[in-house]
Amino acid sequence: MRKPYAERILMSGKITVFTGPMFSEKTTHLLSAYRRSVRGNRTVLVIKPRIDRRYDPEKIISHNGEEVLARLVDKAEGIYDIFGSMKYGIKDVFIDEAQFIPNLSEVLVWLSRTGSNVYVSMLDLKSDGKPFETSSDVFAVADKIVKLTAVCTRCNSDATRSFRKNPEDKGDIVLGGKGEYEAMCLDCFSKNMSEQ
């Protein structure tokens, strides 16, 4: 697909990433930035991957119950189509669960070249402790990365890992709520991984 030319280059926008393990309130931070934009009368666009059907197919819902309507995309290139179909200029773009949108980094750079600020919420690591490739790529082009931590369910120190309780399901896709995962610090994560 040929991507549209980023025509109105006045000043590039900034790419901000909220990242960390599950339960680190990434979506809450994303929605906080969203509310700030809306209060400032900025035109906004909210996007999430179609794969995330955790609570509702067209809304972003944080663990504390806050919700916002979102446009769904199957792949990163779908964002070009959504952006091109908007009648007015978009100032701020918000993308939730972005680790599930492959090849996203190139589109984020394109969005920032149109002058839009982009806010992204994404997991940094899979439940096997290895990085999401999409996230590593996005970190490389980001202007600002906010690393969030959760609370370790075993020792109460800062948690940086998402531990999946059912070892059969370990791997690429990490979906689901509280029941399937525990936030852990690296020490507790390593101990529990070796015991599984």
- Closest CB 187 distance from Zn ion, rounded Å: 6
User: Per CB under 5 A, which of residues 34..93 are in contact with Zn ion?
Assistant: none
Of 66, 97, 133, 168, catalytic: 97
Q: What is the CB neighbour count within 10 angstroms for residue 129?
A: 15
Q: Is 98 in the site for Zn ion (CB under 5 A)?
A: no
Facing residues of 68 across strands? 60
Q: Beta strand pairing status for 158-159 and 150-151?
A: antiparallel
Residue 196 in contact with residue 189, Cβ under 8 Å? no
Judge whether 25 counts as a catalytic residue: no
Q: How many residues bind Zn ion (CB under 5 A)?
A: 5
Which tokens go with 29? 């931070």
**Rg (Cα) of the chain, in Å, rounded?**
17
The distance between the two most distant Cα atoms of the chain, rounded to a whole number of Å, is: 55
Binding part of the chain for Zn ion, among 19-27, 112-120, 134-142, 146-154 by CB under 5 A, reads: 146-154
Nearest approach, Cβ of 188 to Zn ion (angstroms)?
3
**By the rule CB under 5 A, 183 interacts with Zn ion:** no
170 sits near Zn ion (criterion: CB under 5 A): no
Q: Where on the chain is the footprint of Zn ion (CB under 5 A)? A: 152, 154-155, 185, 188
Q: Which residues are catalytic?
A: 97
